[in-house]
Each structure stands twice: as C-alpha cells, then as structure tokens.
Amino acid sequence: MSESLSDNAVVPFTLDIAPAELPSDPGASPFKLVVDPVMRERLRRALSLMIENHDQELARHVGEGRLALDSYKEYIEIFANSLKQTMESAEGVNYLMQSCGFEVKAEDINLKPETRWIS
C-alpha cells in the first residue's frame, strides 16, 4: 500500500545509529580521550532529548496551523535555526550543563568560550 505525502506533511522518523565505539585502550588511538565515556553519553542523551523536544514543538505548531511549511528543506532550516538559537542562549547551555550533572548559574555560562588549539 503506497501513501503519498505532501511537502507539508510532518512525518515522524527514527534514526538507527549505533553509538560510536570508543577504543578500549585510549592510548592506542592517535587522539587523546579528553572526556570520559559516561560524560559523552550524558551529553549525547541531553542533545537527543533537546532535538526531540524541538521536533515535537515544530510539529505541534504545524499541526495547530500556526506554522506554515513549504517543504522539508524549509522545515530543516527552521529546525536548525531553532536549535542554534537555543545553543546561543545561557538557558540552552545551562540545560546541557544540568543534564550532565553540573549546577551552574546562568550568568556564569560563557557563550563565547575560547577554543585553544594546540599545535
């Protein structure tokens, strides 16, 4: 049975992505393991929940007729912009911090951290 979908249809989907394998011996890797696997998993889980929440909110707005979409391209653009706005806010970064077990005041969050590359 074949179903046709309009460009405006909101279609739920799941991703079957296997978690990245961590080397059993970090010294065997040419890269330094900076963050422990438990912290990386907490952060991954927090990001996944944040992405799911954004997706559900956009779908709700479309379903209630408050948001019009012309294509999947536009949906992805709006979705990406929504995530970007969240990650550029102290509240969004604080959500990730709390999900990883840190209690940090919103005013103490550095939204423009310096990246220090080592050569």
Residues above pLDDT 70, as percent of the chain: 71
| 54, pLDDT greater than 50 | yes
Q: Choose from 3-12, 31-40, 84-93, 99-108 the range with maximum mean pLDDT.
A: 84-93
Opening angle at CA 16, ends 98 and 69, nearest 5: 80
Q: Which of 18-32, 54-68, 100-114 has the lowest mean pLDDT?
A: 18-32
The mean pLDDT of 41-49, rounded to a whole number, is 91
Residue-by-residue DSSP string for 73-99: HHHHHHHHHHHHHHHTSHHHHHHHHHH
